[in-house]
Amino acid sequence: MILPVIMSGGNGSRLWPLSRKQHPKQFLSLIGESTMLQETILRLKGLETLAPSIICNKGHRFIVAEQLNEIDALGGDILLEPQGRNTAPAVALAAIKAIEKGSDPLLLVLAADHVITDVNAFHTAIKQAQKCAEAGRLVTFGIVPNKPETGYGYIRSGKQIKGSDCLLVEEFVEKPNLKTATTYVESGEYFWNSGMFLFKASTYIQELEKHQPEILTACKAAIHNAVNDSEFIRVDAESFLTCPDDSIDYAIMEQTAHAAMIPLNAGWSDVGSWSSIWEVKEKDENQNVKRGDVKSIDTKNCLIDARDKLVATVGVSNLVIVETSDAVLIADQSRVQDVKKVVEQLNREERLESVQHRTVYRPWGHINLLQRGERYKSKQVTIKPHARLSLQMHYHRAEHWIVVSGTAKVRCDDKESLITENQSTYIPIGAVHSIENPGSIPLVMIEVQTGSYIAKDDIVRLEDLYGFDKD
């Protein structure tokens, strides 16, 4: 049986301002209606697979669970990394966990942020790879190149393996310059390195034991000492952080004598930049890609994404324009790889715009920041039906809650009350409080915080329903 292992790490900094550290590109709907993580899972429909294992940063766990729940895909493991250690350790965690359960599945290793437009061709390639993988090969999927691309690594293929559809792998090569990439494509021997794999869990563990014993030892300890936290598995941080940071390519595929490759021609893209999104999206008669409230006059070859406001363009071409509630990006199509430099500058200045959106998702609902000043902050808070926040208090701020829709069950010290639409309540500094939505519709309210210090670390949780204090 195939166990999909979906790696859901990374920040996607070249897709700022939509992709942020706390809500990166794999959790966004950039191409279709579903998010990229959801699309990765949905395109497995039609294959016989186990429930997918997701490997993600602990800070993204509630986003992952919510998005899996939306497409009825919960049921597999959600492994939480305390900190990213690249793909080789991430997959090691999934392999060790699978063996621990008493099975030895084929691990189909996928990234959560890829686009594949020809699902039938994708399924065919997986089926072609199965025989080799079951025989002990580590199979990678080489993308048939349609142009000399300098942004991808390449795989040089060898002869066909007797009795299978797989090719031998002669070598992995780094991202080339344009002249070298052109030579690669013209030769017909080179394929883009997709970062997708199929191999038995036991085969991968054996190769780790042979070539990367430090990774295997650290990951075994991290799984052995892991803690189950609701639907999540928190791997042991102390053990995992001793693990070397390495990719599957460097750690295993370039070392093993059992590497194989299946050519894949399925409309694949890793959508690593705004230009790659422009390439795969449907365009209008002027070769523009538009989303949201956009008005364009004499505009050509542009990607315009409006998420919060009307965006109008006149007499421009070859631009990327992305608007969110707190940031606007305008970039020449030829310079989109440098968007990450903006993020680096924001990080140096410790700007929140590189970290999170104004809307922040929580397991109980979400928060939309409306306004922030020196001694105040206003937010729109939405709480799901039958959900509640942990019992807590603040030393430095008071809070005013105004219910817009729904009903709130509020505890403030020893008093409990129901607050309905157009009513409000006040939470003084130091008051022990909680709020719950007892109803069947979302509770929406406006929260105004006032005080000398209103940062999020002024939260003393007297109970921790969602494991925030473990982060």
Could you tell me the sign of the dihedral formed by the alpha carbons of 140, 141, 147, 151, in that order? Answer: negative
Residue 211: half-sphere exposure toward Cβ, Cα within 13 Å: 22
Per-residue pLDDT reduced to its tens digit, 102-149: 899 999 999 999 999 999 999 999 999 999 999 999 999 999 999 998
Instruction: Give the confidence band of 161 by pLDDT, cuts at 50, 70, 90.
Output: very high
Q: What is the CA radius of gyration of the chain?
A: 25
**Averaged pLDDT, 44-69:** 94
Check whether 12 has a pLDDT greater than 90. no
Instruction: Give the confidence band of 467 by pLDDT, cuts at 50, 70, 90.
Output: confident
Q: What is the pTM of this model?
A: 0.91
**Averaged pLDDT, 431-450:** 97
CA distances from 244 to 88, 90, 91, 412 (A): 9, 11, 13, 48
- What percent of the chain has pLDDT above 70? 100
Is there a cis peptide before residue 17, judged by omega within 30 degrees of 0?
yes
Cα separation, 397 vs 451, in Å, equals 4
Residue 84 one-letter amino acid: G
**Averaged pLDDT, 75-88:** 94
Paired residues of 270 in beta bridges: none
Q: What is the largest CA-CA distance in the chain?
A: 77
Check whether 471 has a pLDDT greater than 80. no
Per-residue pLDDT reduced to its tens digit, 391-404: 999 999 999 999 99
| Helical (H) or strand (E) element with 288 | none
Neighbours of 223 (CB within 10 A): 22
303: nearest Cα among 323, 269, 27, 327: 323
Per-residue pLDDT reduced to its tens digit, 222-272: 999 999 988 899 999 999 999 999 999 999 999 999 999 999 999 999 888
Per-residue pLDDT reduced to its tens digit, 261-296: 999 999 999 888 999 999 999 999 999 999 999 999
**Averaged pLDDT, 410-434:** 97
Residue 319 one-letter amino acid: L
3-state secondary structure at position 299: coil
Q: Return the pLDDT at 466.
A: 87
Give residues with Cβ within 8 angstroms of 403, minimum separation 6: 419, 420, 421, 422, 423, 424, 443, 444, 445
Q: Return the pLDDT at 272.
A: 87
* CB crowding 10-26: b at 16 or more within 10 Å, else e: bbbbbbbbbbbbbbbbb
Token pair, residue 344, equals 């680096």
Cα separation, 186 vs 423, in Å, equals 70
Token pair, residue 310, equals 């009307």
| Helical (H) or strand (E) element with 393 | strand 392-393
Q: Return the pLDDT at 210.
A: 96
**Averaged pLDDT, 406-415:** 97
